Amino acid sequence: MNTPNPYAAPRAAVADISTTTDFEPADRIVRLAAAILDGIIIMAIVYVPLLLGGGASIYMSILTGREPQIGPGFAIWSLVAFVGCVAWIWVTIVYVARNGQTIAKKMIGIKVVRSDGSKASLGRIFWLRNFVNGLLGIIPFYQLIDILFIFGDRRQCLHDKIADTIVVKA
C-alpha cells in the first residue's frame, strides 16, 4: 500500500535555514583591528575636515587680528564632512546588507553572520547589534562588559549574543 496518507502531516524542504557549520570564528585581535580601523575611517572622513575647517577659521581670525569666529571656511569644511558622512553611511549600508561587513571588516576579511552560519539581515545587524547595544551603553560599565564577553568560548561579545550573531572569517 503505497498511497499517500491524506491525514499525514505535510512535508516540505525548508530552504531558509542553513545547516552548514563550516565557518571559523574570527580571531579576537582581528575583530579589534576591524573596530579600530572603522573608527579611523570615520574619523578621517568626518572629523578631520571639521577640525581642518574649524582650525583654519580660527587661524585666519587670529592672523587678521579679529576675535576667533567660525567663518565661511568652516561651512565649506562642514559640507565636506557631511558629504563624507553620507558616503560612509551609504557604503556601510551596502556592504552590511550585501555580506554583513563594514568597510574595515571587508578589508580585513571577516563578516557578521547568524550563529547558525546563515546570513544576518541588515535589520538584525542595525537594530540588535548597534541600536539596542547603543541604548544599553548608557548603563555604567556596560561597554566594558560587552567587550569582555569576547573571551568566552564562542568569541561572542554581548551585542553578538543579543543579536544571535557571530563574526567569522569571510
Q: Which residue has the cell 587670529?
A: 62
Who contacts 30 (Cβ-Cβ below 8 Å, separation ≥6)?
Answer: 108, 110
Q: CB–CB of 59/69 below 8 Å?
A: no
pTM for this prediction: 0.78
Rounded to whole angstroms, what are the CA distances from 96 to 73, 149, 158?
Answer: 34, 23, 19
How is residue 59 written as a grid cell?
587661524
- Nearest CA-CA partner of 168 in 96, 107, 109, 125: 109
Give the whole-angstrom CA distance, residue 149 versus residue 125. Answer: 18
Per-residue pLDDT of the chain (170 residues; tens, 9 = 90+): 577 788 877 777 766 555 555 789 999 999 999 999 999 999 999 999 888 887 777 777 778 887 766 667 778 888 989 999 999 999 999 999 999 999 999 999 999 999 999 999 999 999 999 999 999 999 999 999 999 999 998 899 999 999 999 999 99
- Tens-digit pLDDT profile for residues 9-38: 777 776 655 555 578 999 999 999 999 999
- Nearest CA-CA partner of 109 in 169, 156, 59: 169
